[in-house]
């Protein structure tokens, strides 16, 4: 899956644009328009929806990628007219535009990203629906809170890294039904991604974990809440479940190998009490604003969504594994103050999600911000840190951040809620 070099490799880093595209609009690839087509700048960030194609041909074929459109290539310019790399049959490419029988494509390999011109006849366009709408999440009840739309995201860390550029395309070609920090929908329309199955916990399963989660935050030990009865919590939890409101929880099936070590583990994702306080407004809504729409000056309500490792039967939380995978390395404190970190559980971020890309598992989260540090113990004074989405990868018992994206709250979804009287 890596672009093969004949002379020297050339890469293209997907740049970030600021164009907002309604999810119903679809630009697709551009028609043949000779000179005008050639001059048009193409970004492979997904803000303008892309087409995807599979390279065709016989086994062993090497399909060349040209730096410059062959039709406009001067014979005296030997470097520009030379194919610098090639792809092979069954490789996936993103198609930016088509001009006079040639397509300008991006190939995301294992270690680098390559762009170039390829004969259109060598491509078989995939049947994808982009932007992709996975539907309104069941987690927000029966009422649609926002007008569904795409939300442009900007990459700020990991430019040129295959998984980071691919996830940028996924984020920007996904229809959101709520703010990104309220959860990222599934989208397997982008080559390389696989859908993860979310199975909602039953009220009985959730209630069995409720006190354990509360104990983990209060005492630092989830097992102290095992078997503890709390009539008030039970009443609140059952009411929330009956009204299809918070709190809510689900598991991923089958179990995922988040450590990428061949050992799958059971993971649940919990949103709402006792993980965090129950909000008086839906996640993403800006209280006190005339139309409830979030802006940089009027932040939306955030609902904490955290992950936990459980036993095989999902009835008890594994304290050690949960801390190993999901605890903030310095409990949210700056790196210089890490020794002062409290013993209680402090999650890496406030909105944990998971995805699988090319046989590797990742988790992402928005940072808490508001004075708390990022994953590496820095930027605690950055005002917009709460809008930064980090992608983390764990391998050989080490978790590291590989990608980061920035959400602009001034491009938030439009609420459907009636304006206050």
pLDDT at residue 418 in the model: 67
Domain ranges of the chain: 4-125, 138-411
Does the pLDDT at position 288 exceed 90?
no
pLDDT at residue 241 in the model: 62
- CATH code of the domain made up of 4-125: 2.30.30.40
Cis previous bond, 254, omega within 30: yes
pLDDT at residue 34 in the model: 67
d(CA 117, CA 114): 10
Band the pLDDT of 362: cuts 50, 70, 90.
very high
Nearest Cα to Cα of residue 45 among 19, 9, 10, 11: 19
Strand pairing report for 353-357 and 193-194: antiparallel
pLDDT at residue 242 in the model: 63
Does the pLDDT at position 124 exceed 90?
yes
Average pLDDT, the chain: 85
> How confident is the model over 302-320, as a mean pLDDT?
92
Q: Tens of pLDDT along 141-165?
A: 567 889 999 999 999 999 999 999 9
Strand pairing report for 63-66 and 51-55: unpaired
Range scoring the smallest mean pLDDT among 111-125, 270-284, 403-417: 270-284
Does the pLDDT at position 265 exceed 90?
yes
pLDDT at residue 43 in the model: 94
Cis previous bond, 69, omega within 30: no
């Amino acid at each position: 899956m890596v672009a093969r070099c004949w002379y020297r490799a050339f890469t293209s880093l997907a740049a970030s644009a600021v164009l907002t595209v309604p999810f119903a609009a679809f630009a697709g690839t551009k028609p043949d328009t000779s000179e005008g087509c050639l001059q048009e700048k193409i970004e492979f960030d997904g803000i303008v929806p892309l087409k995807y194609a599979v390279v065709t041909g016989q086994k062993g074929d090497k399909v060349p990628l040209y730096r410059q459109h062959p039709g406009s290539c001067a014979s005296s310019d030997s470097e520009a007219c030379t194919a610098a790399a090639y792809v092979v049959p069954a490789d996936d490419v993103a198609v930016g535009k088509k001009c006079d029988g040639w397509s300008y494509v991006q190939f995301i390999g294992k270690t680098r990203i390559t762009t170039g011109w390829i004969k259109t006849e060598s491509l078989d366009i995939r049947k994808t629906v982009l932007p992709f709408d996975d539907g309104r999440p069941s987690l927000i009840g029966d009422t649609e809170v926002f007008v569904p739309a795409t939300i442009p995201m900007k990459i700020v860390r990991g430019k040129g890294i295959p998984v980071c550029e691919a996830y940028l395309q996924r984020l920007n070609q996904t229809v959101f039904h709520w703010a990104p920090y309220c959860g990222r929908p599934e989208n397997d329309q982008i080559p390389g991604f696989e859908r993860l199955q979310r199975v909602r916990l039953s009220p009985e399963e959730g209630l069995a974990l409720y006190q354990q989660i509360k104990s983990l935050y209060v005492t630092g030990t989830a097992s102290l809440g095992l078997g503890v009865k709390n009539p008030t919590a039970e009443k609140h939890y059952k009411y929330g479940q009956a009204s299809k409101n918070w709190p809510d929880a689900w598991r991923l099936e089958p179990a995922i190998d988040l450590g990428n070590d061949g050992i799958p583990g059971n993971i649940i994702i919990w949103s709402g009490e006792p993980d965090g306080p129950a909000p008086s407004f839906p996640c993403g809504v800006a209280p006190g604003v005339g139309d409830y729409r979030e802006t940089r000056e009027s932040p939306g309500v955030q609902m904490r969504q955290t992950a936990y490792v459980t036993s095989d039967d999902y009835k008890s939380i594994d304290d050690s594994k949960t801390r190993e995978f999901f605890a903030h390395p310095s409990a949210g404190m700056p790196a210089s103050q890490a020794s002062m970190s409290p013993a209680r559980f402090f999650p890496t971020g406030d909105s944990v999600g998971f995805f699988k890309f090319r046989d590797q598992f990742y988790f992402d989260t928005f940072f808490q911000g508001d004075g708390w540090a990022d994953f590496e113990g820095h930027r605690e004074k950055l005002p917009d840190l709460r809008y930064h989405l980090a992608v983390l990868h764990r391998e050989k018992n080490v978790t590291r951040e590989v990608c980061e994206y920035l959400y602009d709250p001034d491009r938030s979804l439009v609420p459907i809620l009636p304006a206050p009287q």
